[in-house]
Amino acid sequence: MRVLLYLTKNYSRQLLTQDYMRLTFLPFLLLVMSIVVSCKNKAQQEINNSARKEAIERAEKDSIARVKKAEEERPIMGADINLSKELTFDKYTLEDTYPYKDTVRVFQWEKIKEQLAVVENFQRQDISYAVLQNYKNKNREAPVVANFKRNAYKRVSDTLGVERYQSSPLYAVGDAKVPLIYGRDGSLVKLLSSDTLDMVKVEGLTNFEGTWEVPKRYVKSLSDTVDFHHVVVVDVTNQNICTLEKSVKGWIIRSMNPATTGRHLPPHAMETPVGIFLVQEQKSKMYYVKDGTKTIEGFAPYASRFTNGAYVHGVPVNNPQGKIIEYSWSLGTTPRSHMCVRNASSHAKFVFDWMRPMASLVIVID
């Protein structure tokens, strides 16, 4: 009987202990498990958030890189060009808009910016530059093009109006029989083949488009390090001239002056051609002859040649031994030159000293 009672009490105690364990330890265990699961979920969530954040950052960086690349590859437009005035030459300076007789003349800044955009765009490329040259047909008179015509001066020209005289012949690639068009002296091109070949492949950068072949004698390579940061712009409509210099903040206007361009007076005087040309040579005195003769009539000071016989120069002196004339009443009026661009002699000297031959441009607009 005593043994039975002892067993009964002992069993009851075990049951109570087990119930107690259930009532106390199990909730604790559940709590611990809950905390563990919660921590694990939180850690996983942090991992997920971090991965999501990294993915978003990568996507943002990729998007920015794509936008930047697209912006870099997008052609520069005239509206993208920034102009500011910091005059270096400040004599005879014209305003942006100024009166002339009973009209108003202007500096065509929007058109100028469009031309500067052309220069900016080809300078963004990895280019081997060259220039077409045939001043006074020194590299041989170009052959007659397939479809030619007689221009207003009764001279042979192509269908685009470019004269044979002083120009380079441009042939279709792979067909060197007959040239199709002419390239003006002073036109910039991109070299697409070695300039040691008999026929050099080029791509037009200024004054003509497309890919052509040119006999190598008409092609002169430029320095690999050339940058076109000095530009003279001549306006044949408004008879003015300005100089611009490229800087980190855009293009800076260095001068704004009156000028006189070429007139239409066959057979000797002709218009200053519109286009973008390379300054090829400079002469402190450019002597000229009397029309129709070989007699030297006078000189033009501080002359910078950019195409054919066209120079930016000072006031002509009709005496080979005469003194330099600073200014002429005719500047900024109407075209009077043979093809050249006349301006005040001190401004011509500024241009002469400021520009670098084979690394500066003259842009002629209408």
CATH number at residue 331: 2.40.440.10
Q: Which residue has the tokens 């000229």?
A: 288
CA–CA separation, 76 vs 246, rounded Å?
Answer: 15
**pLDDT value of position 16:** 47
CA–CA separation, 318 vs 291, rounded Å?
Answer: 13
Highest mean pLDDT among 6-15, 65-74, 112-121: 112-121
Cβ atoms of 358 and 282 closer than 8 Å: no
Q: Return mean pLDDT, the chain.
A: 89
Element (H, E) at 354: helix 345-354
Q: Is residue 114, in this structure, part of any structural domain at all?
A: yes
Q: Is residue 9, in this structure, part of any structural domain at all?
A: no
**pLDDT value of position 360:** 98
CA–CA separation, 286 vs 257, rounded Å?
Answer: 21
User: Do 142 and 268 sit in the same domain of this protein?
Assistant: no
pLDDT in tens, 244-303: 999 999 999 999 999 999 999 988 899 999 999 999 999 999 999 999 899 999 999 999
Is 50's pLDDT higher than 50? yes
Q: Which residue has the tokens 């000071």?
A: 301
User: Do 119 and 135 sit in the same domain of this protein?
Assistant: no
pLDDT-based confidence at 8, cuts 50/70/90?
Answer: very low
Which residues touch 152 (CB under 8 Å, ≥6 apart)?
264, 266
Percent of the chain exceeding pLDDT 90 equals: 75
**pLDDT value of position 71:** 57
User: Do 212 and 254 sit in the same domain of this protein?
Assistant: no
Task: Tell whether the torsion through CA atoms of 16, 18, 19 and 25 is positive or negative.
Answer: positive
Among candidate residues 221, 243, 274, the one where a domain is terminated = 221
Is 12's pLDDT higher than 80? no
**pLDDT value of position 2:** 52
CA–CA separation, 279 vs 297, rounded Å?
Answer: 25
pTM: 0.82
pLDDT in tens, 317-345: 999 999 999 999 999 999 999 999 999 99
pLDDT-based confidence at 5, cuts 50/70/90?
Answer: very low
User: Do 337 and 236 sit in the same domain of this protein?
Assistant: yes
Q: Give the mean pLDDT of 136-155.
A: 93
Domain interval for residue 213 = 129-221
Q: Is residue 76, in this structure, part of any structural domain at all?
A: no
Q: How far are the Cα atoms of 20, 87, 150, 226, 342 from residue 244, in angstroms, in the given order? A: 96, 9, 37, 17, 18
Q: Which of 89, 91, 83 is nearest to 108 (CA)?
A: 83
Among candidate residues 173, 206, 221, the one where a domain is terminated = 221
